[in-house]
């Protein structure tokens, strides 16, 4: 089971004892309202596997208090680069609010950037508020920048996410 959203709304026949929003408020109280990587496990370390794959190690990410746990290393795939062009892709934690008959989702994924002949820029992320959000809102929090030069994923993987929690205070 590579990744599991811990704070999720799920439709059941009975009313939830605690909602995802309630749970997230508790985590914000403990970790602060800033999104980031916690001290758990291997802190979601990211490493290059090959030119189209990165590995994310175990850890927990807080996305405005909505938690995502990676309990076994996972591989994320990115599109191959284009010869003669540069591109920045981002590894993000993406939370989408469900509602009604639709469950929330919280996953790590790669957002592809736009190829550029010169300096590459990061892709634009959707960053709706999960705290005040409604069904359909989406929050993408960047964890890592993956730099592609031509068809090669360079060895440069830049951590963008802050660390959160008492260990880092």
The closest alpha carbon to 81, from 121, 113, 47, belongs to 113
pLDDT in the model for residue 147 = 97
The closest alpha carbon to 133, from 64, 73, 87, 46, belongs to 64
pLDDT in the model for residue 54 = 98
pTM of the model: 0.88
pLDDT in the model for residue 29 = 84
Q: Which CATH number is 3-168 given?
A: 2.60.520.10
C-alpha dihedral (23, 28, 31, 35), degrees to nearest 10: 110
**Cβ(62)–Cβ(141) under 8 Å?**
no
pLDDT in the model for residue 7 = 62
pLDDT in the model for residue 45 = 98
Measure the N-to-C terminal CA separation of the chain; round to a whole number of Å: 31
β-pair partners for 142:
92
Measured in residues, the chain has a length of 169
What span, in angstroms and rounded, lies between the C-alpha atoms of 34 and 166?
13
What span, in angstroms and rounded, lies between the C-alpha atoms of 66 and 166?
17
Residues of the chain with pLDDT under 50: none
* Domains in the chain: boundaries: 3-168
């Amino acid at each position: 089971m590579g990744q599991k959203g811990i704070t999720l709304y799920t439709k059941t026949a009975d009313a939830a004892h605690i909602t995802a929003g309630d749970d997230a408020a508790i985590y914000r109280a403990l970790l602060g309202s800033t999104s980031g990587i916690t001290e758990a496990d291997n802190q979601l370390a990211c490493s290059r596997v090959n030119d189209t794959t990165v590995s994310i190690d175990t850890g927990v990410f807080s996305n405005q208090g909505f938690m995502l746990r990676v309990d076994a290393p996972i591989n994320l795939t990115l599109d191959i680069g284009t010869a003669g062009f540069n591109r920045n892709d981002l590894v993000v934690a993406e939370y989408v609010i469900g509602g009604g008959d639709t469950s929330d989702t919280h996953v790590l994924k790669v957002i592809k950037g736009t190829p550029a002949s010169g300096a590459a820029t990061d892709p634009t992320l959707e960053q709706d508020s999960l705290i005040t959000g409604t069904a359909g809102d989406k929050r993408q929090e960047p964890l890592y920048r993956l730099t592609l030069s031509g068809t090669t994923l360079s060895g440069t993987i830049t951590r963008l996410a802050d660390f959160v929690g008492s260990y880092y205070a």
